[in-house]
Amino acid sequence: MSLAAVLIGLFVLTYGALAVIASRRPLLARLAYREAVRRPLQSALVVLGLMIGSASIVSLQVFTDSQIATGVETANVAWGRVDLVVDANGRLFGSDVAQRLGADPQLAGSMAGAQNGMELIASVGDLDQRLGKPAVRVIGFDPATQRAFGAYALVDGTTTYGDDLPTRSVLLSRQLADALKAHKGDRLHIAANAGAPGPGADLLVAGIARQQGPGASGLRPAVFIPLATAQALLGTDQINIIRIAASGDDQVEVDHAAALTAQLRTKVSSDLVVRAAKADEVASVRRNLENNRGFTVIISLFIVLAGTALVVNLMLGLAEERRPRWAVVRALGLTRTGLVQLAVLEGAVYSLAAAVIGAIPGFAFAWLLTMWFASSMRDTYGGTLNAQDMVVRVSALPDTVLASIAAASLITLATLFLTSLRASGLSISSAIKNLPEPAARSRRPSRFSWTLLLFALGGALMFVPGNSTVNRYLAGLVLMIAAFILLRGLLSVRMGAGLLGAGVTAWSVGTLASASVETARSNIGAFILFFTLIGAVFGLCILLTANLRILETLAGLLGRQRGRLMATLRPPLAYLSRRPVRSGLGMGAFAVVLGMLGAYNVFGFVFAGNAVRDTAGYDVAAFSAGTSSITVPSDLQSQMTQETLVTTRTYYGQLNMHQAGQETGWAPTYVSLYELTDAQLSDPPVRLTQRDPRFNTDRELFTAMRNDPSLIVANNFFQPVALSLVGRDGPLTFKVVGQWAPGPLFGILGSQAAFAPFSQVPPGSTLLIKTAPGVDPQGFALALRRELFSTGVDADTTLHLVYLRGAPGRGFLDYVVSVTRIGLIVGVASLGLLVLRALIERRRVIGLLRALGYAPRQVLAGMLGEAVLTATAGIIVGVAAGTGLGYVYVRIAYSATTLGIDWPATLVSVAGVYAAVLLVAFVPALRASRLAPSEALRLVD
Amino acid sequence: MRQPTDGSIVQARRLRKVYRGANEVEALRGIDLEVERGEMVAIVGPSGSGKTTLLNCLSGLDSFDGGQVVVDGQDLSTMSDRARTAYRSKNMGFVFQAFNLLPVLSAVENVEIPLLLQNLNSRDSRRRSLEMLETLGLAHRANHRPDQLSGGEQQRVAVARALVHKPAVVWADEPTGNLDTEVTQVIVELLVRMNKDGQTIVLVTHNPQVAERARRTVRMRDGRIETVARELAGVV
């Protein structure tokens, strides 16, 4: 049974039970209803607070659905009508196979067409525009069989299957046309090969294809070229791919493709591989993005936790306000259970309303996040997709939406239930007169507490022998909380809470610090960081709350000189320090979110790039896909001091990632393989950001790579322990022992021996250049590009490449920061709501203070001060915990990384929080200051 | 502007107060009242007669729609809210039915508030507050919070807070309304003792036993003063 079904089932059961209670106890239902509608504005305020959690859950889940829908649709568009491919791992083979398959009567029912094709990587130069582009995909298609795969729609409004193209002419994808500024009629030089460098050929641009149907193929810069012309480029009559289109649309197409895969494997020779290309990519995208849901859940948990803290705070406030009325109904004979039922019935109305209404802003934010995701997909496709060609799907699956609403309602309701349990233990006589609750007679734990304690200890002990770090961590927390309950009465509350807070914080930091590199880098590492961060935040909150009296002491020192200042500060400080639960919850709502932000500010520093490190001292990089060398023209030679030529093979084939016994599955991928000579391994052209802990230095690691061809360094695969690629003779697996930040080199580094099995992949080259002092790298790159455009050589400054290729990493951080901003809104909204609630709850107190002579500005300053102090405490705790734990985590997981904190980002966040807090707190505080004392004192509730 | 007092510390002339809303209610209909310095006056009357409204207007807690209120020579009707607030903090003390102590402050901290508002430093404020609590027999409860005090103790703290800054007038609105007979007696004795020491006290009460301890009783009905009785006028 899926989690969604469980949540929806629980929701139905819970609300069903509440409906039964309401029908059997109509008085309670009526009272709950009347309380809910008695003060519509106040109820709206409560619903607004509760909405935050549901909005965040709905937005992040809908976003994940939309990510998957967008990813799947993008994959579908990229493959068009091509469902399967047959190839020989990049080698050429005979062109008779497609014809045989097309004529096979057994395949006729499920196959719409089979096409001989050619797939090459080439360097392309536009001789008229004098611009070149390396690593362009050359797609050779057979016009005779193109009808089964659809027509190319050209930007001039015409369509073609290719059979009417003039001789030696080609179509360009719009991305390539944009990159080359190419027009119809331009002359192109294409240098392509299939194993050895070819002479290249000059061709004509016959049209520019829109990104639809076959023109969208691969969603990358591409040249669509009739098969005969492509074969002529290589001087062969063979092919290297067969494309198969299944018949039917949508699910019928999928079913036919699956059937064809099995059938074709029996009909082709053993040296040919049949791949369900479209289905595999769709499955891979779906699987990877579905895996991201865990990450999304973690982030939403931060916000939900912040929202829950707000809910508890709101409910405590509401209970305080309702106290006299609840005491009356208790006096009239309502049991404590009845009172809890009354509170939960009322809360059920709020939580359901909040969950349903909260879905609306949730959808809106999901839409925004999906737009962000779509733009990051552009980066995934090399930043070459046009905005108008983006495939974006905002998907809200009914079960996701219902499950999100159910989860939000249940979390709120459970919180309400626990809060009402606490509030129902009121002293009737005191509460009726709205007098303070008498102090508890005994602080010794009740029998219930002992039982609970025993359960907690038992549960904790069960976890301790386990190997799971998370379980051990949680068990430690349970034991500490149990000890705190046990020691209640023996220690002062302040001492007990202080010890608990310090213990939880130390345990959290210790647990993360003791994690192994492997654990930290694995998926579980993110969970450990999440749990320990939450633990540290709440530990510090408890510690700080228990010691807030220090603030009063400081205020007391000020008061030695200025009594009026003391008078202004005392009530807000007392409300903060002497209602620790509510203060702790208020600051906790902030601290949780700022903790996440603090941690990501550390990651931001790590991933944001470092120009000196990531350029490895080179100023310009030039690329060519069609030639194994790049010769710098003699007139530019004098402007450079050093060059390093790295043989680069652009691998387009299947790739599988392995980690901790799991694999992502084979999926088609483009990746550059950089073959380093022994000399280059001694003086590598990259600086590592992460090393296998076995190696203490980059030099040690590269020396090991020289001796062991199974070791590689990769930079666009975040955490895998191993990568598998398909070589000339079949799959090969490499161990990833290091990582470098994206820059002029972007792909996989290995020794010549490591990449020898990929000789079928045409060699290209990357030339790294150090310019002479005083030479402008940008001008040098442009001059190089202009001089070598005919061979398709592209050149750019390394700084620009670091910026461009760091885009996905920055995009990821932007995403996290975007989501964190929801959390910050939660925190700020929490404080705004709490100040509003304080205005309602403390009317009498405000009236009294005004009667005693407090000036309106003192009331205003007091309420603003309380909000600012709560925010400050939350910020201190959050930034300290987030930065500290982020630091510890990064230190373990990325041993070679330069550590640091993105202070500007942190300071901007903090300043923004203060501005927002003052903004939301000002209006209610102003209203409070303007309360007429007699009115406020007259008010009963 | 300071007004002549003629021995009176509080003077109300033709005081009018109207509560506006769906049904307009004239709560005070041209009240004339004088309170002598050092006097203890009880305002009595049925619910809705305007007792608390009168007290609120006389003490500057509420604004009024007509007439004049002069307290210790200061005309409240001409004062801004800011000036009235400052005047209240220096010259008035309050005791309420629901005690109205700040729940998050201890007894001594509650008592300190009026002194701190007068910018007295915290050390002197604390000393004087403790002395006041000692006078009222509450020194041992100084650091307790309201929820740790009995009703009588809370009201004694409220009285201490009302008296600590030696105000010109103490205003008490049903000061014994939430207390039992025994504790009521204690509070009344306390107020009487303070009055004998020269403190002017104006209180609103429903309780005849409380009212009869005042030197003068003002009986109100429908926003007007019905009778004024002097010295132990038990009939009112």
Contact between B42 and B175 under an 8 Å Cβ cutoff? The reply is no
* Set of chain B residues whose Cβ sits within 8 Å of the Cβ of A554: none
Q: What is the arithmetic mean of pLDDT over A295-321?
A: 75
Q: What is the arithmetic mean of pLDDT over A188-202?
A: 66
Predicted local distance difference test score (pLDDT) of residue A896: 56
Pairing of β A640-659 and β A763-771: antiparallel
Reported as a single tens digit per residue, the pLDDT across A713-755 is 987 655 557 889 988 788 899 999 888 888 888 889 999 999 9
Q: What is the arithmetic mean of pLDDT over A131-146?
A: 87
Which of B51, B69, B85 to mutate: most A Cβ within 10 Å?
B85
Whether A451 shows a pLDDT value over 60: the answer reads no
* Set of chain B residues whose Cβ sits within 8 Å of the Cβ of A549: none
C-alpha dist (Å) from residue A335 to A338, A341, A448? 5, 10, 19
pLDDT greater at residue B71 or residue A1: B71
pLDDT greater at residue A469 or residue A405: A405
Number of Cα atoms under 13 Å in the Cβ half of residue A507 = 24
Reported as a single tens digit per residue, the pLDDT across A531-554 is 899 899 989 998 988 888 887 787
Nearest-by-CA chain B residue for A936: B61
Predicted local distance difference test score (pLDDT) of residue A78: 84
Whether A205 shows a pLDDT value over 90: the answer reads yes
Nearest-by-CA chain A residue for B19: A935
- Coil, strand or helix at A549: helix
Q: What is the arithmetic mean of pLDDT over A300-324?
A: 76
Domain ranges of chain A: 35-80+286-436, 84-275, 548-609+807-941, 613-805
Whether A809 shows a pLDDT value over 70: the answer reads no
Reported as a single tens digit per residue, the pLDDT across B107-134 is 999 999 889 888 888 889 999 999 999 9
Q: What is the arithmetic mean of pLDDT over B52-72?
A: 90
Predicted local distance difference test score (pLDDT) of residue B164: 92
pLDDT greater at residue A895 or residue A693: A693
Question: Nearest-CA distance from B62 to chain A in Å?
Answer: 6
Which of A323, A934, A940 to mutate: most B Cβ within 10 Å?
A934
In a domain, B26, yes or no: no
Predicted local distance difference test score (pLDDT) of residue B35: 93
Q: Phi, psi at residue A748, to the nearest 5°?
A: -130, 135
Contact between A123 and A793 under an 8 Å Cβ cutoff? The reply is yes
Predicted local distance difference test score (pLDDT) of residue B5: 46
Whether B12 shows a pLDDT value over 70: the answer reads yes
- The CATH code of the domain that includes B134 is 3.40.50.300
Place A9 in a pLDDT band, splitting at 50, 70 and 90. Answer: very high
Reported as a single tens digit per residue, the pLDDT across B183-232 is 888 888 988 988 998 999 999 998 888 888 898 999 999 999 988 776 65
Instruction: Report the largest interatomic distance among the alpha carbons of chain A, rounded to a whole angstrom.
Output: 101
Reported as a single tens digit per residue, the pLDDT across A776-785 is 999 999 899 8
Place A847 in a pLDDT band, splitting at 50, 70 and 90. Answer: confident
Predicted local distance difference test score (pLDDT) of residue A754: 93
Which of B82, B84, B116, B141 to mutate: most A Cβ within 10 Å?
B116
Cross-strand partners of B40: B201
Whether A506 shows a pLDDT value over 50: the answer reads yes
Among B56, B103, B114, beta carbon nearest to A934: B56
Q: What is the arithmetic mean of pLDDT over A559-579?
A: 81
- Coil, strand or helix at A605: helix
Predicted local distance difference test score (pLDDT) of residue A928: 85
Predicted local distance difference test score (pLDDT) of residue B236: 33
Structure tokens at A920: 């939301």
Whether A840 shows a pLDDT value over 80: the answer reads no
Whether A384 shows a pLDDT value over 60: the answer reads no
Predicted local distance difference test score (pLDDT) of residue A1: 63
pLDDT greater at residue A71 or residue A503: A503
Reported as a single tens digit per residue, the pLDDT across A634-653 is 889 999 999 999 999 888 77
Whether A249 shows a pLDDT value over 80: the answer reads yes
Pick the range with the lowest mean pLDDT from A27-31, A363-367, A439-443: A439-443
Nearest-by-CA chain B residue for A858: B117
ipTM of the shown complex: 0.80
Place A626 in a pLDDT band, splitting at 50, 70 and 90. Answer: low
The H or E element spanning position B17 is: strand B8-19
pTM of the predicted model as reported, rounded to 2 decimal places: 0.70
Reported as a single tens digit per residue, the pLDDT across B139-165 is 999 999 888 888 889 988 999 999 999
Predicted local distance difference test score (pLDDT) of residue A485: 76
Whether A170 shows a pLDDT value over 90: the answer reads yes
Question: Nearest-CA distance from A50 to chain B in Å?
Answer: 27
Question: Nearest-CA distance from B79 to chain A in Å?
Answer: 14
Predicted local distance difference test score (pLDDT) of residue A898: 62
CB contact under 8 A, A570 and B90: no
| CA distance linking residue A119 with residue B137, whole number of Å | 99
Contact between B215 and B200 under an 8 Å Cβ cutoff? The reply is no
In a domain, B5, yes or no: no
* Set of chain A residues whose Cβ sits within 8 Å of the Cβ of B99: 435
Predicted local distance difference test score (pLDDT) of residue A383: 46
Whether A444 shows a pLDDT value over 70: the answer reads no
Contact between A439 and A478 under an 8 Å Cβ cutoff? The reply is no
Contact between A621 and A648 under an 8 Å Cβ cutoff? The reply is no
Among B88, B122, B147, beta carbon nearest to A566: B122
CB contact under 8 A, B117 and A563: yes
CB contacts < 8 A, A to B, total 117
Whether A689 shows a pLDDT value over 50: the answer reads yes
The residues of B whose Cβ lies within 8 A of any Cβ of A are: 52, 56, 59, 61-63, 81-82, 85-86, 88-90, 92, 94, 96, 98-105, 109, 113-123, 125, 145-148, 151, 154, 161, 178
Among A434, A574, A854, beta carbon nearest to B98: A434
* Set of chain A residues whose Cβ sits within 8 Å of the Cβ of B109: 570, 574
Structure tokens at A536: 């540290």
Q: What is the arithmetic mean of pLDDT over A273-299?
A: 79
pLDDT greater at residue A486 or residue A72: A72
In a domain, B167, yes or no: yes
Sign of CA dihedral A697, A703, A706, A711: negative
Whether A881 shows a pLDDT value over 50: the answer reads yes
The H or E element spanning position A226 is: strand A222-226
Whether A800 shows a pLDDT value over 50: the answer reads yes
Per the rule left: phi > 0, alpha: psi between -120 and 50, beta: everything else, B47 is beta
Contact between B43 and B204 under an 8 Å Cβ cutoff? The reply is yes
Whether A674 shows a pLDDT value over 90: the answer reads yes
Which of B69, B104, B109, B129 to mutate: most A Cβ within 10 Å?
B104
Reported as a single tens digit per residue, the pLDDT across A328-356 is 778 777 788 888 888 889 888 888 888 88
Whether A771 shows a pLDDT value over 90: the answer reads yes
| CA distance linking residue A761 with residue B43, whole number of Å | 104
C-alpha dist (Å) from residue A159 to A186, A476, A941? 19, 68, 75
- The total domain count for chain B is 1
Place A382 in a pLDDT band, splitting at 50, 70 and 90. Answer: very low
Which domain range does residue B138 map to? 38-63+80-230
Contact between B3 and B73 under an 8 Å Cβ cutoff? The reply is yes
pLDDT greater at residue B78 or residue A939: B78
Q: What is the arithmetic mean of pLDDT over A85-95?
A: 84
| CA distance linking residue B214 with residue B216, whole number of Å | 5
Nearest-by-CA chain A residue for B112: A567
| CA distance linking residue B44 with residue B221, whole number of Å | 9
Predicted local distance difference test score (pLDDT) of residue A936: 73
Predicted local distance difference test score (pLDDT) of residue A449: 67
Mean pLDDT value across chain A: 82
Place A436 in a pLDDT band, splitting at 50, 70 and 90. Answer: low
Place A231 in a pLDDT band, splitting at 50, 70 and 90. Answer: confident
Mean pLDDT value across chain B: 86
Question: Nearest-CA distance from B216 to chain A in Å?
Answer: 25
* Set of chain B residues whose Cβ sits within 8 Å of the Cβ of A849: 102, 113
Predicted local distance difference test score (pLDDT) of residue A630: 85
Could you give the percent of chain A with pLDDT greater than 70? Answer: 88
CB contact under 8 A, B96 and A848: yes
Of A205, A415, A285, A433, the residue nearest B97 (C-alpha): A433
